[in-house]
A and B are shown apart, each in its own frame.
Chain A
Amino acid sequence: MSRPNYGWLQGTTVRKSGITSSSSNATRSSTPQVQSTSSTVYGGGVKDPSGRTAEYFSMDDQCPVCRSDRYLNPKLRLLVSSCYHKMCESCIDRLFTLGPAPCPICQKVLRKLAFSPQTFEDLGVEKEVAVRRRLAKEFNKRREDFDDLRSYNDYLEEVEDIAFNLINNINVQETEARVATYKAANAALTALNLQREEAYALALKEQEELDRKEREARAAQLAHEQQLEREEKEREQREIIDKLETSQKDARQVVAKSRANAAKRLAAVSGSGKPSGLAAVGFGFGADYAKLLKTRTTGKKASNSVPDEPHIPLQDEWYAYDDLFVFKDGYDDVVSEAVRKDREGIMRAGGYMVEEAWQRALRSAVAGLDISPLEGLTERGVPEPTGPVDSGTDVVMVSV
């Protein structure tokens, strides 16, 4: 097997030495520039999530065919052929306008439309991404499609083998044949999985849409409520003024009464009206989504996994002799005197609490008080009869 050789893939793109490039260059290269002398629209390239292609661009670019570089031609734009060789747009125009022609570097027959913009500095990466994209379309089986993990892993390894071969040009013919065989054999499943993917993407999109609608509904309702409130307030104020004008009552009493009324109304609104509307909206969407998730996660085959509960020693139920002693708040104790009298708390720095030490001592004072010794009970005894002799790890003389 030959070692993959990337040397030719990299063309003459000398790696950008960031330190040596001048600051003016750096600012220029950071601004997105797409310079095209040709009217041809080139497809391909790796798109970012927003659907745009970020083209790779370097100040050291040089066309390996005509040797023109960015210094001579600031509008130089290098494109990548399907055999992963770079050349400038003018060379492409010159060589391939009259129809298919051999690549000047590897002699593979190329067409003008087979060129695509470069996304990654390293053409090896460019190629790998392209190959993997292509394979992902065909090899889209999932874990659920296999009976056990073993066969799934075998499948993944197979896919990885194929990808590796294609990327590094190892047995290309044979590998392509394998891909074709697979494609023929699994057309139905592939299509199905494709549909599933699309359905999932669609569901996600729907969910996003629902979320957005919910947010909008909530905002509208909030605005509506605020509007109502404002109107109410204005009406109240008008009422107060009317009353003050017409009635003979004390002004302060009138104001207080209407205030109380307003407070009552507000409480009624916040207590009942607001949540019910929103809850109904949110609930409807939430339930829908939950159902969707559920249908996705429950596979065809019921998982027969055994719950593996870890043992947490802190949750063990131990009898700690608590009924055998009464813990007092303080003790007349010589042993711990130094710790308790330590004013700066240096001895208690690590979180030492004399109460805990006392408690431990009290526990051990009553622990096992009623355990009888093993005298005369050797058969039932806890130590294994052979233990001390056989399991002694270094009792060499016994084992000889």
Chain B
Amino acid sequence: MQDPSPPPIKKPLYEGSTQFKNWRYSHSRLAQIRSTLNEAAVSVIRTTFEAYEPGSSANVTFLTADEESLLVTFYATMITQICGRFRFPEEVEATAVSYLKRFYLKNTVMDWHPKNVMLTAVFLATKTTNNPISLEVYTSHIPKASASDVLDLEFLIAQSLGFEFAVWHAHRALWGIWLDLQSLPDTTSNSEATRSPVYTSAVSHVRSSRLTDAELVYTPSQVALAALSMADRDLALKWLKSKQDKLRSDADHSPNIMESIDNITNLIRKHGHAPDVEAVREVDRRLKLCKNPEKVVGTKAYLARQAEEDKKAEDRRIRKADVQKEATTDGDPFGEVLARSKPGLVDYDDDDDD
């Protein structure tokens, strides 16, 4: 049984988080989401192409789900670069990467280019992690970025995230493990200097885990422990053993943790590196051709869409104005008479018998 239901009454903190409730998937589920999203996007974009220029979609090769995630991964590495340039704390970087990944579980690359989404995700992350920076400073340090590029997408991203901005991070868990190691009886003799390289390497493994789906499948503490075990397996095992008897008493949980950690280790080894630039370039070149024309400024579809939206907005405005005019001309500025007929003054003697 793998039910993660809490022990009596008190609910564990992590299980109250939105990360646990809404952003936890299995590998197969992730793959399914991405493929359905990709299929839906392709069909919609194809119809849009056909609607404006019949036959034009015949020789367009749309991106596959894998290619989409390749692009997202590439731009996740760009987040690291940007955060390095601004000297943002690690929390900002990790949060921004999480936002980027979560965003593309609800949207497609062919609608919103990750180049722009990434910029906004970082800006949003600075705010949600309490490391604010002014928009002018932010955009002035990024070539070819304007304030509107960042702001236009901000609400969309927040909406796609479901306004769930809090993220539990693996790097913090790693820090905690590292601190807690000092509570182990026999490791205290080790000096800081000898352990430091282990920590540094574990941190780098946590960073590369951000390029994988690890955080969407496993808990941050598991990812952190896996990163530590990649740096020093014995140390990680020793720490886990010290915790294991205090964790839930059922013995059948223990192998699961080790198994998860091995899985994460494999995941990081396999996917935890920046994608090949040439491959990305090729995908990006094709993306230019298969972008949703409604979202590309200047195309016919974009203009049509724009006109349609303007018309809708205009309709709404007119309707609102009508309602307002009606309200003012109708005589009673406080609105219609209430639905129930008002009892006359005489009716009050109903209450006489108290």
Partner-B contacts on A (CB < 8 A): 141, 144-147, 150-151, 154-155, 158, 178, 181-182, 185-186, 188-189, 192, 300, 317-321, 323-326, 328, 331-335, 358, 360-378, 381-383, 387-389, 391-398, 400
Question: For the complex, what is the distance from the CA of A369 to the CA of B37, rounded to whole Å?
Answer: 31
Question: A377 contacts which chain B residues (CB < 8 A)?
Answer: 2, 26
A371 contacts B4, C-beta separation under 8 Å: yes
Stretch of B64-72, B136-144, B175-183, B271-279 at the chain-chain interface? B175-183
Within the complex, the shortest CB–CB distance from B115 to chain A, in Å, comes to 17
Within the complex, the shortest CB–CB distance from A335 to chain B, in Å, comes to 6
Question: For the complex, what is the distance from the CA of A319 to the CA of B108, rounded to whole Å?
Answer: 38
Within the complex, the shortest CB–CB distance from A381 to chain B, in Å, comes to 6
Q: Is B336 an interface residue (CB 8 A)?
A: no
Question: B9 contacts which chain A residues (CB < 8 A)?
Answer: 317
Given A151-B343, A368-B220, A382-B21, output 9 extra A-B contacts at Cβ < 8 Å.
Answer: A154-B343, A182-B346, A186-B348, A323-B246, A360-B172, A371-B219, A373-B263, A383-B23, A394-B160
The CB with the most chain B CB atoms within 10 A, among A358, A364, A383, is that of: A364
Within the complex, the shortest CB–CB distance from B182 to chain A, in Å, comes to 6
Contact indicator per residue, chain B 80-111, by CB within 8 Å of chain A (1) or not (0)? 00000000000000000000000001111001
The CB with the most chain B CB atoms within 10 A, among A185, A325, A358, A361, is that of: A361
A368 contacts B29, C-beta separation under 8 Å: no
Interface pairs (19), CB distance under 8 Å: A181-B346, A189-B354, A317-B9, A318-B10, A318-B16, A325-B183, A331-B182, A360-B172, A360-B176, A364-B14, A364-B168, A365-B221, A368-B12, A368-B220, A378-B29, A388-B33, A394-B159, A395-B106, A397-B45
**Which of A362, A391, A395 is in CB contact (< 8 Å) with B179?**
A362
Question: For the complex, what is the distance from the CA of A151 to the CA of B248, rounded to whole Å?
Answer: 60
Nearest-CB residue, chain B, relative to A324 = B246
A389 contacts B37, C-beta separation under 8 Å: yes
Within the complex, the shortest CB–CB distance from A12 to chain B, in Å, comes to 34
B352 contacts A186, C-beta separation under 8 Å: yes
Question: For the complex, what is the distance from the CA of A368 to the CA of B4, rounded to whole Å?
Answer: 9
**Which of B2, B106, B178, B345 is in CB contact (< 8 Å) with A178?**
B345
Q: Is B217 an interface residue (CB 8 A)?
A: yes
Q: Is B349 an interface residue (CB 8 A)?
A: yes
**Which of B29, B221, B224, B294 is in CB contact (< 8 Å) with A383?**
B29
Given contacts A358-B179, A371-B4, A389-B37, contact A321 B12 (CB under 8 A): yes
Within the complex, the shortest CB–CB distance from A378 to chain B, in Å, comes to 5
B40 contacts A361, C-beta separation under 8 Å: no
With contacts defined as CB atoms under 8 Å apart, how many contacts are there between chain A and chain B in the complex? 229
Partner-A contacts on B (CB < 8 A): 2, 4, 6-7, 9-16, 20-29, 32-33, 36-37, 40-41, 43-45, 47, 105-108, 111, 156, 159-160, 162, 168-169, 172-180, 182-183, 192, 196, 199, 217-222, 224-225, 243, 246-248, 253, 256-257, 260, 263, 292, 294, 340, 342-343, 345-346, 348-349, 351-352, 354
Within the complex, the shortest CB–CB distance from B87 to chain A, in Å, comes to 13
Nearest-CB residue, chain B, relative to A330 = B182
Nearest-CB residue, chain B, relative to A333 = B179
Given contacts A335-B175, A362-B180, A372-B2, contact A321 B192 (CB under 8 A): no
Question: For the complex, what is the distance from the CA of A374 to the CA of B4, rounded to whole Å?
Answer: 10
Nearest-CB residue, chain B, relative to A350 = B130
Given contacts A332-B192, A378-B26, contact A320 B13 (CB under 8 A): yes
Question: For the complex, what is the distance from the CA of A141 to the CA of B354, rounded to whole Å?
Answer: 12
Question: A368 contacts which chain B residues (CB < 8 A)?
Answer: 12, 14-15, 20, 219-222
Question: For the complex, what is the distance from the CA of A125 to the CA of B183, rounded to whole Å?
Answer: 79
**Which of A151, A319, A370 is in CB contact (< 8 Å) with B256?**
A370
